[in-house]
Amino acid sequence: DAGVTQSPTHLIKTRGQQVTLRCSPKSGHDTVCWYQQALGQGPQFIFQYYEEEERQRGNFPDRFSGHQFPNYSSELNVNALLLGDSALYLCASRSSGGTDTQYFGPGTRLTVL
Amino acid sequence: GIQVEQSPPDLILQEGANSTLRCNFSDSVNNLQWFHQNPWGQLINLFYIPSGTKQNGRLSATTVATERYSLLYISSSQTTDSGVYFCAVPTGGGNKLTFGTGTQLKVEL
């Protein structure tokens, strides 16, 4: 039973560039959430996708956008990168028909130079 | 919004020692999760515990929802227990998890 997977593991970009991060949910899960974790802090909720639509959003600018595909996998896109976007980006999945438990992937570490 | 505070912020233990980590939340919640974040950044589920007590090996957790706190007990600590422990609660009526401030644990030989 595969857990949540994310790609790439690490990424280095420069200011102003755009980046796409990918997530495959745990088998049987249909809901995906994205979190940003800055160094030394707890994860912060970016948004949630269910049935290919954004259902809930945290306090992040429109530069952060996402997509969910029919197979439940998801992408996080960040445009016009800023130095402050450097962080660990975590994807979590859950089953809409199960408990509220969210399971996290290993994360993508993004460095913006 | 809801505030989630954890204590202590930092903890250093000798291998074999026991510890108690605390999570306080400022409003009623439907459930609570405990996670261990290892040095590589992976968040590992420990407990889903809206109320009551659960045990898993050397770890156990208790949530007293009416008093708005949860405790995580680690017994006979091992060096592999090192890392950051987070509690998290759902907020905003959906899937948004609000994480606590974390407890950084270091277990030494």
Q: What is the pLDDT of residues A70-105, one digit of tens each?
A: 999 999 999 999 999 999 999 999 998 877 789 999
Interface-testing mutation among A104, A109, A111, with chain B (most B C-beta atoms within 10 A): A104
Which amino acid is residue A46, in one-letter code?
I
Average pLDDT, chain B: 95
Instruction: Tell me what percent of the residues of chain A surpass a pLDDT of 70.
Output: 99
Q: Take residue A45 and report the two structure tokens written for it.
A: 């909720």
- Closest CA of chain A from B103, distance in Å: 10
Give the model confidence (pLDDT) of B33-46 as tens digits.
Answer: 999 999 889 999 99
